[in-house]
């Protein structure tokens, strides 16, 4: 039997077979977008357009730095005493070269993040200062790893925590991003934090200061704000928020950037799942904050705060 064939439609002016000319009205839309971009809704700074830092490059940098810090866990399992230092050195060299380029690109893109006229040589100096602190960062991360092992009865060994726990991934990323934030490289640091957020569901602003032996158990939904200060040996669970209660404004009603507005959590505090702690309040050393507590007042050292005690205390507010 003879098979019928349908006639082919000739490509239209839009380049799509069977589409009428001007289907998407691209000339008009492109022109209107140009007006929005350049005039009515412009957010671009004056001067030459610059490229933003690359999230893909920053993700590769984070992977490389993590491999250099823990080469047998994240790098290559067959490394031995003869070749491990070569692997670490080569991995660091690649990651730091790329980081320097991204720092330079980020400074030019933002414009006011670092000194005007920021040069590539200055990006190299910042990267060198960052790299010099990596051994100290690894020491902090080992303390975080030990805290996770002690704090979680389900943890059987260090490798399980190091490569399998989202809280461990989040704190590795945070400690690296926090170094850059302290050096003034804030756009790159923030993008690194967002990579960790996307990977783990844990949102830690790179400005947050976190002490040694920090453990996030489970972790999904944890939020820690920019000016939060967390002491040593603190453990928190999923869906905990260390946030701001209100946002101070200046005389013109604009939000004041960088104002201290997040909690201070002292040493040896445990915060259980779903707790929301807001404002520049202090959670005293050795305290325990129960699940789903809404807290907006200071807590004395060695306190136990539950939903009932928070609801019945002045200023506690549930």
- 271 pLDDT tier (thresholds 50, 70, 90): very high
Q: By mean pLDDT, which of 5-9, 179-183, 276-280 is the weakest?
A: 5-9
Largest CA distance in the chain: 90
Mean pLDDT of all residues in 235-261:
87
Name, in order, each residue with C-beta under 8 angstroms of 17's C-beta and a sequence gap of 6 or more.
8, 9, 10, 11
Q: By mean pLDDT, which of 39-43, 119-123, 158-162 is the weakest?
A: 39-43
d(CA 150, CA 42): 53
pLDDT digits over 205-226, tens only? 999 999 999 999 999 999 999 9
**Quick check: 18 pLDDT over 60?**
no
pLDDT the model gives residue 124: 94
- Residue whose structure tokens are 């490289």: 185
pLDDT the model gives residue 255: 76
The domain segmentation of the chain, as residue ranges, is: 50-202, 221-318
d(CA 145, CA 63): 18
Name, in order, each residue with C-beta under 8 angstroms of 298's C-beta and a sequence gap of 6 or more.
281, 282, 283, 284
d(CA 78, CA 105): 36
d(CA 155, CA 133): 29
d(CA 287, CA 313): 16
- 2 pLDDT tier (thresholds 50, 70, 90): low
Mean pLDDT score of the chain: 88
- Cα 30 to Cα 46, 124, 128, 286, distances in angstroms: 22, 40, 44, 60
The CATH number of domain 50-202 is 1.10.3130.10: yes
Task: State whether the Cα torsion 67-73-79-83 is positive or negative.
Answer: positive
Task: State whether the Cα torsion 31-37-41-42 is positive or negative.
Answer: negative
- Cα 57 to Cα 77, 121, 202, distances in angstroms: 24, 20, 21
How far does the chain reach from its first CA to its final CA, in angstroms? 79
**Quick check: 150 pLDDT over 90?**
yes
d(CA 8, CA 18): 8
pLDDT the model gives residue 312: 62
The CATH number of domain 221-318 is 2.30.40.10: no
User: For residues 265 and 249, is the Cβ–Cβ distance under 8 A?
Assistant: no
> What string of DSSP letters covers 246-311?
---B-TTSPBPTT---S-EE-TT-EE-TT-EEESS-EE-TT-EE-TT-EE-S-B-TT-EE-HHHHH
Among the listed residues 228, 213, 64, 63, the one whose alpha carbon sits nearest the alpha carbon of residue 144? 213
**Quick check: 66 pLDDT over 80?**
yes
Percent of the chain at pLDDT > 90 equals 69
CA–centroid distance for 143 within its chain: 20
Q: Is 22 or 235 the better-scoring residue by pLDDT?
A: 235
- 134 pLDDT tier (thresholds 50, 70, 90): very high
> Residue 207: exposed, middle, or buried by beta-carbon count in 10 A (0-12, 13-18, 19+)?
buried
């Amino acid at each position: 039997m003879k098979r019928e064939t349908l006639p082919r439609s000739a490509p239209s002016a839009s380049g799509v077979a069977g589409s009428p000319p001007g289907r998407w009205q691209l000339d008009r839309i492109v022109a209107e977008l140009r007006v929005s971009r350049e005039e009515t809704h412009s957010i671009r700074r004056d001067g030459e357009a610059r490229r933003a830092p690359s999230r893909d490059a920053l993700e590769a940098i984070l992977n490389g730095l993590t491999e250099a810090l823990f080469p047998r866990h994240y790098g290559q399992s067959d490394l031995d005493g003869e070749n491990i230092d070569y692997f670490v050195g080569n991995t660091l060299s690649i990651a730091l070269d790329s980081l320097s380029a991204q720092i330079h690109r980020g400074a030019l893109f933002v414009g006011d993040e670092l000194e005007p006229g920021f040069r590539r040589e200055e990006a190299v100096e910042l990267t060198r200062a960052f790299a010099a602190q990596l051994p100290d960062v690894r020491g902090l991360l080992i303390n975080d790893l030990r805290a996770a092992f002690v704090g979680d009865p389900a943890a059987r060994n260090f490798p399980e925590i190091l490569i399998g726990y989202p809280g461990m991934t989040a704190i590795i990323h945070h400690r690296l991003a926090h170094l850059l934030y302290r050096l003034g490289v804030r756009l790159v640091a923030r993008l690194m934090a967002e990579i960790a957020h996307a990977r783990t569901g844990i949102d830690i602003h790179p400005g947050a200061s976190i002490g040694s032996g920090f453990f996030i158990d489970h972790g999904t939904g944890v939020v820690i704000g920019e000016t939060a200060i967390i002491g040593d040996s603190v453990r928190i669970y999923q869906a905990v928020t260390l946030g701001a209660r209100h946002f101070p404004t200046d005389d013109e009603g604009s939000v004041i950037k960088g104002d201290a507005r997040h909690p201070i959590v002292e040493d040896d505090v445990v915060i259980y799942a779903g707790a929301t702690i807001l404002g520049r309040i202090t959670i005293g050393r050795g305290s325990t904050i129960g699940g789903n507590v809404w807290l907006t007042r200071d807590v004395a050292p060695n306190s136990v705060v539950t939903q009932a005690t928070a609801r019945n205390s002045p200023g506690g507010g549930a």
